[in-house]
């Protein structure tokens, strides 16, 4: 799938277009025969019936326009349903999964920044870039991205995993993560977060990879690090329990669609060979 991002709509919509349509935490999908779903490819004349608002152009897939929009109607056409965006993973091609996350963030930003944060006047979308400008004071706001670090800390041949207080699954453990604060480098953020949450100092921080995570607007930046010093002392406001685990005796951990799962898989591949229980 070749998605070509574009800010401005080249011409008014004629024919079919892909619509990434959101309602609360859900996205509208069309059921297909093989128990999979697809992003709706909708005829222009059908769109008016669906009571969409806040439609924004995103770009094109093979010259077919793509839009995000908000759904207010509860009456869905046959074979259409709402499903949680997280649950969409694995049900559509990865390209459409990534694009759904992008569409979600552009949709949310346009919904949440209709008014200026400085003077309260209405904002409007700029023509030539993804930005909203205040009609009174000209303050410009851009789509919000919240950088967060996520780190696999290894001591000898064991991985540091913790169970966060807000994890929906009470048996799930994961590697430590936290939001970057103003004025902070990624390395400083890693050292601060890990020390604050579990009382451990780390060294030899190495970049792993990054992932856009649209729940709601994170950019997850993954690292590996080595234990330097300290004893596990958890911050009970954030962590329920934390411990060091062998590759062979991991608890329930996130699936590989999340960067956390990829980091844990990296640990298993480099520190042990047995398969892990996973939430996939």
Which residues in this chain contact Zn ion in the complex, by CB under 5 A? 116, 118-119, 121, 134, 136-137, 139
Q: How far is the CB of 55 from Zn ion (least distance, A)?
A: 24
Q: Round to whole Å and give the CA distance between 68 and 102.
A: 9
Residue 165 has, within 13 A of its CA and on its CB side, a CA count of 8
Q: How far is the CB of 66 from Zn ion (least distance, A)?
A: 30
Tell me the two tokens of residue 238: 């954030």
Closer residue to Zn ion, CB minimum distance, 23 or 141: 141
Q: How far is the CB of 120 from Zn ion (least distance, A)?
A: 7
50 strand-pairing partners: none
The DSSP secondary-structure symbol of 256 reads: T
Closer residue to Zn ion, CB minimum distance, 46 or 136: 136
Pairing of strands 158-164, 176-179: unpaired
Q: Round to whole Å and give the CA distance between 6 and 66.
A: 10
Cβ contacts of 44 within 8 Å, gap of 6 or more: 13, 14, 15, 16, 17
The CA-CA-CA angle for residues 149, 153, 159, to 5°, reads 130
Closer residue to Zn ion, CB minimum distance, 136 or 269: 136
Closer residue to Zn ion, CB minimum distance, 116 or 160: 116
Q: How far is the CB of 139 from Zn ion (least distance, A)?
A: 5
Q: Round to whole Å and give the CA distance between 153 and 206.
A: 11
Q: How far is the CB of 106 from Zn ion (least distance, A)?
A: 21
Q: How far is the CB of 122 from Zn ion (least distance, A)?
A: 9
Closer residue to Zn ion, CB minimum distance, 121 or 188: 121
Q: Round to whole Å and give the CA distance between 169 and 182.
A: 31
Check if the beta carbon of residue 153 is closer than 8 Å to that of residue 177: no
Closer residue to Zn ion, CB minimum distance, 87 or 119: 119
Q: How far is the CB of 109 from Zn ion (least distance, A)?
A: 17
Closer residue to Zn ion, CB minimum distance, 41 or 137: 137
Check if the beta carbon of residue 106 is closer than 8 Å to that of residue 112: no
Query: What is the largest distance, in Å, between two alpha-carbon atoms of the chain?
Result: 65
User: Per DSSP, which regions of 126-217 are E strands?
Assistant: 132-134, 140-141, 146-155, 158-164, 176-179, 201-213
């Amino acid at each position: 799938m070749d998605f070509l991002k574009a800010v401005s709509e080249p011409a008014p919509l004629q024919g079919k277009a892909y619509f990434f349509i959101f309602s609360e935490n859900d996205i509208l999908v069309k059921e297909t025969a093989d128990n999979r779903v697809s992003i709706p490819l909708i005829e222009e004349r059908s769109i008016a019936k669906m009571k969409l608002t806040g439609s924004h152009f995103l770009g094109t897939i093979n010259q077919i326009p793509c839009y995000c929009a908000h759904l207010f109607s509860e009456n869905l056409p046959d074979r259409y349903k709402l499903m949680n965006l997280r649950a969409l993973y694995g049900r559509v091609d990865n390209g459409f999964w990534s694009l759904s996350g992008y569409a979600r963030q552009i949709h949310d930003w346009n919904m949440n920044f209709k008014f200026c944060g400085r003077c309260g006047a209405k904002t409007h979308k700029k023509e030539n870039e993804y930005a909203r400008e205040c009609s009174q004071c000209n303050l410009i706001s851009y789509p919000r991205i919240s950088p967060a670090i996520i780190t696999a800390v290894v001591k000898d041949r064991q991985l540091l995993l913790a169970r966060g207080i807000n994890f929906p699954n009470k048996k799930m453990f994961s590697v430590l993560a936290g939001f970057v604060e103003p004025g902070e480098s990624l390395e400083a953020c890693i050292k601060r977060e890990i020390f604050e949450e579990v009382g451990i100092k780390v060294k030899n921080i190495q970049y792993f990879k990054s992932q856009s995570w649209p729940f709601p607007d994170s950019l997850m930046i993954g690292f590996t690090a080595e234990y330097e010093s300290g004893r596990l002392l958890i911050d009970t406001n954030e962590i329920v329990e934390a411990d060091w685990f062998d590759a062979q005796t991991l608890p329930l951990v996130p699936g590989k669609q999340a960067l956390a799962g990829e980091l844990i898989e990296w640990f298993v591949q480099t520190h042990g060979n047995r398969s892990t229980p996973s939430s996939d």
